[in-house]
Structure 1
Amino acid sequence: MAVTESELVLLACPEWRYPAQALAKRLGIACLQTPSDIFPPRYLLYDNAGLALIEHRTIGRKGAVSSSRISCDFVSGAARHRRLYGGGTGQALARAVGLSSGFKPLVADLTAGLGRDGFVLASLGARVIWLERHPIVAALLADGLDRLRTAAAFDRQSRDGGDQHEHVLAEIVARLSFYEQDGRAWLEDGCRRDTPDVIYLDPMFPGRDKSAAVKKEMAAFQELVGGDDDAGKLLDAALKVARYRVVVKRPRGALFLAERKPTFTLEGKTTRFDVYSLAKIPR
C-alpha cells in the first residue's frame, strides 16, 4: 500500500529552512526544524546533502534499528561509477533502446522514479524526458537534477583543470528534461510536441522483488510509491505513440506486462528488457 504525503513530515536543517518550507507547503506536509524531538519511522530530510527520504526499521528480537536514506545523486557514488565504467553502449539498457554511435534517440521515461536508468541513457548521448507522477518521488528527482545542474555549472567554470571526465556534466544536463506529470496523460496531451523515438517503462508492482537480494532502501521506496496498477494501459498508450520502440524493464522471472509478448528480450542477472519493435531503427 502506498504511503500518502500526509503521513510524512519534512525535517530541515536551519540553513535550508526556507526552501524546505516552500517544498513542504507545495506537498501539503508539516515542516519541522532540526534538531527535533519528533523522528517518525519515515520522514523527508532537507540538509546539506539535499533532499532525502529517511526510514528507520526495527529488526530482530533485540529491536535493532536499521536506517536507510533514499535520494537522487547523479554526481557521485554509484551514478558516477556507472557513467564512467558501466560498459557504454554495450550494456543491455543501451541495446534495448537501440542506442548506438549512429542513433541517439529521444527517450521518454514515463515511470522515471529516481531517474537512474534515464541518467545512464543521457550520459551515453540519448535525449531523455523524465516523467514522474508521485509528488514525493518527483521532489526527490527534481532535487537530484538541481544538484546535477549546480555541479555542471561548476564544471564549466573549471574546464582548464580537474578531471576531464567531469567536463561532460553540462552536456548531460542539456539532454535531460523533467515533468512532474502522469505518463499516460503526457502521451494523451501530445507529448508536448516531443514525439519520442523510444518509450521506456519500469512499472512497479506490489510484492515485486521481495527476495532478500532487494536492497532495503528500494524496499522502502516501493512502500512509498505502491504499485503501478495501470501499467498495462500505459503500455497500450505507449505503443500508439513511440516511433521505433517501447521498452519495458521487468524482473527476470516476471510475466510479460499485460501478457503482451515482446518482439525480443534482453536478459541480465536479475532483470530483463522486453522490447516491442514498431519500426526499424535508423543507423
Structure 2
Amino acid sequence: MSLAVGWCQDEDRERAEQLAQRLALSLVAQPDLDQAEPWAQILYVCDGRLSLCVTGRKRPGPIRADFVTGAVAHRRQFGGGTGQLIAKACGIRKGIRPRVLDATAGLGRDAFVLATLGCRVQMIERSPVVHALLENGLEEAHACGELDEILAGMELLHGDASELLATLAPVPDVIYLDPMYPHTDKKAQVKKEMLAFRTLVGEDADDASLLQAALAVEPCRVVVKRPRKAPAIDGPAPNHQVIGKSSRYDIYTFRALPNG
C-alpha cells in the first residue's frame, strides 16, 4: 500500500528523516492530510508524537500507541482489575502473576493491561511500522513519569513470533495471541480506525502456524483472543474458554501456573 513518513514542524524533521531511513519509506514535508493522493497513509511525526494517519477528507482519527491518556488510561484505572476476562484467561488470581509473552503485540493495549496487573510482559511485533508506533508509545509513557513501575515489567521485541518463540529463554508461563481477524462492521469510528490499521498490517493468514509454534514451546498455557462467534484457529481444540459479550479466549493448557 501507499505509505510515507511525514513531519509537521521543523523540530520534527530530524526524527522523521531517521524514521524514513530506518523503514525505507519516502519522506514528505508537512503533508496535507486532506489530500488522499499520492499517499493513502502517513506515518506522521507532529509535536514529537508519532501517529498513523489515513489521508482524505473523511479520514478517521490518528492511530497511536497511547498508554498515558484515553481508553487505555481509563481501563488501567477503572477496568475491573483481576476481574477482567483477559486476566481470568491468563490465570491471574491471588498469588499468581504469570510471565506473559504477547506474540501479536499490535498497539500494546492488552500487554499494558497485563502489566498493570503485575505481570512481566514481553511483546513481539513483526510489522516495522507498528513496532515504531509502539516504541514511541512506550517512550511517551516513560516520559510522563507516572508509569515507571508498570513499564519496568514490559519489554518490546521486533521480529516474527513464529521464529522467535523457540529462541526465548526462559519459556514464558503464558503465550498470548490476538491475531488480526476480518471484521465487516465499518459504522463506528473505532471500526474505521481498525480498518485503517488492518489495511496496513493485513490479516494474519498464518494464525494456524503461529498457534502451532506457540503450542510447541509448551508454556503453562496458550491463550488466543477471538471474536465471540469466530471459529477456533485450525489445530487442536482448546481445553476451555472464557467467553464475553463480544470476544472470547480459547485456552490451551499444559500444566498449572506457578505461584508468585
TM, length-normalised to structure 1:
0.85
Separation (CA, whole Å) in 2 of partners of 1:131 and 1:37: 30
Provide, for residues 151-181 of structure 1, a one-character-per-residue CA deviation record: whole Å limited to 9, x for no partner.
13xx4xxxxxxxxxxxxx1111100000111
Please list every run of at least 4 consecutive aligned residues from structure 1 whose deviation after the TM superposition is greater than 3 angstroms: 35-41
Separation (CA, whole Å) in 2 of partners of 1:35 and 1:244: 48
Given that 2:16 and 2:27 are in contact with CA atoms closer than 8 Å, whether structure 1 keeps it comes out as: yes
CA RMSD of aligned residues (A): 1.8
Aligned to 1:19: 15
Given that 2:33 and 2:55 are in contact with CA atoms closer than 8 Å, whether structure 1 keeps it comes out as: no
Aligned to 2:109: 116
Q: Which has the higher mean CA deviation after the structures are superposed, 39-48 or 263-272? A: 39-48
Shift of residue 36 of structure 1?
5.4
Given that 1:71 and 1:144 are in contact with CA atoms closer than 8 Å, whether structure 2 keeps it comes out as: yes
Residues 216-255 of structure 1 correspond to what in structure 2 (within 5 A)? 216-255=192-231
Given that 1:199 and 1:242 are in contact with CA atoms closer than 8 Å, whether structure 2 keeps it comes out as: no
Separation (CA, whole Å) in 2 of partners of 1:36 and 1:210: 29
Shift of residue 118 of structure 1?
0.4
Separation (CA, whole Å) in 2 of partners of 1:275 and 1:10: 39
Over 3 Å counting, the alpha-carbon distance change for 1:266 and 1:49 in structure 2 is farther
Given that 2:223 and 2:249 are in contact with CA atoms closer than 8 Å, whether structure 1 keeps it comes out as: yes
Provide, for residues 97-125 of structure 1, a one-character-per-residue CA deviation record: whole Å limited to 9, x for no partner.
01123111110011111111000000110
Q: Does 1:185 align with 2:163?
A: yes
Q: In structure 1, what residue type is equivalent to 2:51?
A: A
Shift of residue 16 of structure 1?
1.2
Q: Does 1:172 align with 2:150?
A: yes
Separation (CA, whole Å) in 2 of partners of 1:240 and 1:216: 36
Identity of aligned residues (%): 43
Shift of residue 249 of structure 1?
0.5
Q: Does 1:277 align with 2:260?
A: no
Shift of residue 56 of structure 1?
3.5
Aligned to 1:48: 47
**SS, match of residue 177 in structure 1:** strand
Separation (CA, whole Å) in 2 of partners of 1:72 and 1:42: 16
Over 3 Å counting, the alpha-carbon distance change for 1:24 and 1:38 in structure 2 is farther
Q: Which has the higher mean CA deviation after the structures are superposed, 229-238 or 75-84? A: 229-238
Q: In structure 2, what residue type is equivalent to 1:26?
A: R
Shift of residue 235 of structure 1?
0.8
Over 3 Å counting, the alpha-carbon distance change for 1:18 and 1:66 in structure 2 is closer
**SS, match of residue 205 in structure 2:** coil
Alignment coverage as a number of residue pairs: 253
Shift of residue 255 of structure 1?
0.6
Unaligned runs of 5+ in 2: none
Q: In structure 2, what residue type is equivalent to 1:194?
A: P
Q: Does 1:10 align with 2:9?
A: no
Unaligned runs of 5+ in 1: 59-64, 156-168
Separation (CA, whole Å) in 2 of partners of 1:37 and 1:128: 35
TM, length-normalised to structure 2:
0.92
Over 3 Å counting, the alpha-carbon distance change for 1:18 and 1:256 in structure 2 is same
Shift of residue 37 of structure 1?
9.1
Separation (CA, whole Å) in 2 of partners of 1:37 and 1:99: 43
